[in-house]
Homo-oligomer: A and B are copies of this chain.
Amino acid sequence: MKIKKTAGSPEPNARERLLETAIDLFAEKGYAGTSVREIVEQAGVSKPVLYYYFKSKEGLFLAILDIAENLQKDLLAGVLNSTGNVLDRLLILYRRVYAGIGENRNLYKMIHGLRSGPPQGAPGYDFTRYHRHMINAIHKIYEAGVDGGEVKKTAADEVAYLVLSLIDFCLHMDQVQPQLSDPQRPERLLRLAFQGIKKGMEN
């Protein structure tokens, strides 16, 4: 699930290096905070090379987002092929997402920053799509659990939000405060949410 070029072509190197470098820099300093000069310098190419492949800074930016959405799409499709009970499948969802992020850490960082942040002069782009894809996946997993009589039929929407908020939060923590992060936390939080906090609710 690594970044690959769009189609099979001779493709030496420059384009790939530009993509990877730009992802790193956008993740680290934001869109507006990153200059074209920095990108090409660090990628070891000259300015016109960037404009040749991507037409503009915006073009490069959008090319990256296109890659990201395809990665997410493939990943969620894989998760929905899983079997098991709801909690297990949600944990699979989390682990796959977590693993996918690990493989393209800065790509996630870049998107995460832009998703909750201001469009730093970046071209208009609807970042809520990633969110929607996640909600849909959780929804499907949960509904399978309702059909199997495993979980309450409570408003599935609310559950999807509850689960996504936990996952998002843990990924966010892992991103901005890795020293406080704990790979086991998502599992514990999910179990906690499943069982309830209130006294007298022990399984």
Contacts and interface: CB of A to CB of B under 8 A. Distances in A.
Assembly stoichiometry (copies): 2
Interface residues of A, number: 58
A100 interface: no
Classify the interface of chain A: helix, strand, loop or mixed.
Answer: helix
A169 interface: yes
A150 B196 CA distance: 13
Given A165-B169, A192-B159, A197 B33 contact: no
A29 B121 contact: yes
A124 interface: no
Given A154-B197, A158-B189, A195-B198, 13 more contacts: A27-B118, A33-B121, A113-B116, A116-B176, A128-B176, A151-B197, A159-B192, A161-B189, A162-B192, A168-B169, A194-B198, A195-B196, A198-B203
